[in-house]
Amino acid sequence: MMQKVYFQVKVHDAPAHLFDVTMNLSKVEKGQLFRLPEWIPGSYMIRDFARHIVSIQALSVDKLLNLEKIDNCTWRLNENAEHLTLNYQVYAWDLSVRSAHLDQVHAFFNGTSLFLEPVDYPVTEYHLDIPKPEQSFAKNWVLATSMSRVSGKQDFSFGKFVAKDYDDLIDHPVEMGELEIESFEVAGKKHSVAVTGDHFGDLKRLVADLKSVCDYQVRLFGELPEAVTHYVFLLHVLPNGYGGLEHRSSTALQCSENELIKLNDPINDDYLNLLTLCSHEYFHTWNVKQIKPDVFLPYDLNTETFTKQLWIFEGFTSYFEDRTLYDCGVISETHYLKLLSQVITRVYRGSGRKLQSVAESSFDAWTRFYKQGENAPNAIVSYYAKGKLIGLCLDILIRDRTNNQQSLHEVIQQMWTEYGKPQKGMREGDLEKLIEEKIGVNLIDEIRQFVYTTEELPVESLLAKSGVTLKWNNPVSLKELTTEVSADVSLGATVKSNSAGAELVVVYHNSNAHNLGLSNGDVVIAINNRQVDVGTIEKSFARFNVGDLAKVHYFRRGRLYESSSEVIRSEKSTCQLTRSEHPPKIKWLN
């Protein structure tokens, strides 16, 4: 017999960052398992969310029952219960988009952090009650979520909600606080931006640009997924924050306080960061939330789920995040080429692309991409960034071979029609078949080369055919991802401030820093006997000529060392893109 499961979530102790969770269900048999996910969809790393459950007990009509923890994330009920109540407290102090966070200012949670799943229990639907906190600090709080409501006076009130299954229950994050809210309509569906945190901008500016973005992407796919009845951007503004996580009809976002701008301000780099993040996560409404690798149907949230296809689901999404902004007129061609050049720089600056294919990068997301250390640029390639460049190459190749009649836009539309809408998982090789059968272009060999080998992508030659000139420069500072200035030599490392000098973060292979024997964590205090710090080290090194002898003094683990090496010419790995003076052979830019 199918049953309903009832949850209630209450703010228990905000200074202690504790949620109270109550779970009620009926006719529970001995041996029933209750499990919390090990990871959250869209973030491919084992998170061990259950470690934040600080207490748990099982009751039946006030009688304490035997509930036994049997592994990291699973509890077993060791007796029958006609009516079962699980009471547990969850510690919420992870200030990210992936878990849960609670204090006197706001409350945020993902269902993967709070809702135990009754394994193999026959559930017809899940009900959720979130009462307004009684504490005085929450007097003016409201609640934002995309979960379907069954009670509540308005869209942003506390109340009761319903989910059709466990996947639905955990796919609607909840934000509570004194929220700033603006709404707009796309394809007849309400869209809202709910902001918590201090900022210096005008939310109406963001809403106006987001409406253009959302309108464009809905036109691209032809429709909104059926699951979207009210889409919500949950935006947490922090002094220094960045991050996003997609959900079926919402997204959880973090940004820095300077990324929101005034209504009539010109677009700057900070605002571009926020726009591309929002565009990226909204595109996921189709690509990865509906169009999925076959191994994600259904999700197994209790162990790693390996796929070599993340370059499609994150890479193509990354390609369209700023292509959308350009195509719908929110940003200029100059801004678009700058964004693209920064990604090219990220891929080509490190040597990881020569060691790892993008298919391997996708497969190793769990152990390498999500657990990056100081050597990551030298050892791995990003399936986001290189996947984006593969999207670029495929877009231009399709335009070229169809006389500008087809593009990657049509491929995405076909992916939605053939795989997303019918909820059919994509297998390896399906993309190549779809392009050949639906678009009429055979790119099997090209895709195999781009995806499964470490051969260089034909980015420069394809852009040249499209009327865009790619120039390689070497900046004084590796903080620069695009520059018109090119130096002969550079240190070849990224640095951060240290009270003693300049601390090295990443040392690139075959660079001057590498040849000097420097490593991550070394604190350089002098170059050729002159003091340096984080603000002067890169400019000081750029004064050398090729062939000069460079001498550095640095601390490693508290001991002073000296090293010297002949200065070599630095590899030009910083990209600059400009519109060519020659007419393009392929119509790629508007």
- Rounded to an integer, the average pLDDT of 76-101 is 98
In this prediction, residue 50 carries a pLDDT of 99
CB neighbour burial string for 329-358, b if at least 16 within 10 angstroms, e if fewer: ebbeeebbbbbbbbbbbbbbbbbbbeebbb
Which residues are 84's β-sheet partners?
Answer: 25
Helix, strand, coil % over all residues of the chain, rounded to 5: 30, 30, 40
**The domain made up of 294-471 is a member of CATH 1.10.3720.10:** no
Confidence band of 481 (pLDDT split at 50, 70, 90): confident
Residue ranges matching CATH 2.30.42.10 in the chain: 493-566
Confidence band of 153 (pLDDT split at 50, 70, 90): low
Instruction: Please report where in the chains the tokens 């690509």 appear, as a residue.
Output: 287
What is the pTM (predicted TM-score) of this model? 0.96
pLDDT in tens, 305-353: 999 999 999 999 999 999 999 999 999 999 999 999 999 999 999 999 9
User: How far is residue 498 CA from its own chain's centroid?
Assistant: 29
% of the chain with per-residue pLDDT over 70: 99
**CATH fold for the domain made of 493-566:** Pdz3 Domain (2.30.42)
CA quadruple 41, 43, 44, 47: dihedral, nearest 10: -90
- Rounded to an integer, the average pLDDT of 74-102 is 98
Are the C-beta atoms of 325 and 283 separated by less than 8 Å? no
Beta strands 3-13 and 123-130 are: parallel
Residue ranges matching CATH 1.10.390.10 in the chain: 179-285, 294-471
Between 376 and 485, the more confident residue is 376
Are the C-beta atoms of 424 and 418 separated by less than 8 Å? yes
Checking if the pLDDT of 487 tops 90, the result is no
Lowest-confidence range among 446-450, 476-480, 482-486, 563-567?
A: 482-486
Checking if the pLDDT of 397 tops 90, the result is yes
pLDDT in tens, 563-585: 999 999 999 989 999 999 989 99
Are the C-beta atoms of 172 and 111 separated by less than 8 Å? yes
Are the C-beta atoms of 408 and 316 separated by less than 8 Å? yes
Checking if the pLDDT of 152 tops 70, the result is no
**CATH fold for the domain made of 179-285:** Neutral Protease; domain 2 (1.10.390)
Checking if the pLDDT of 497 tops 90, the result is yes
- Rounded to an integer, the average pLDDT of 533-543 is 95
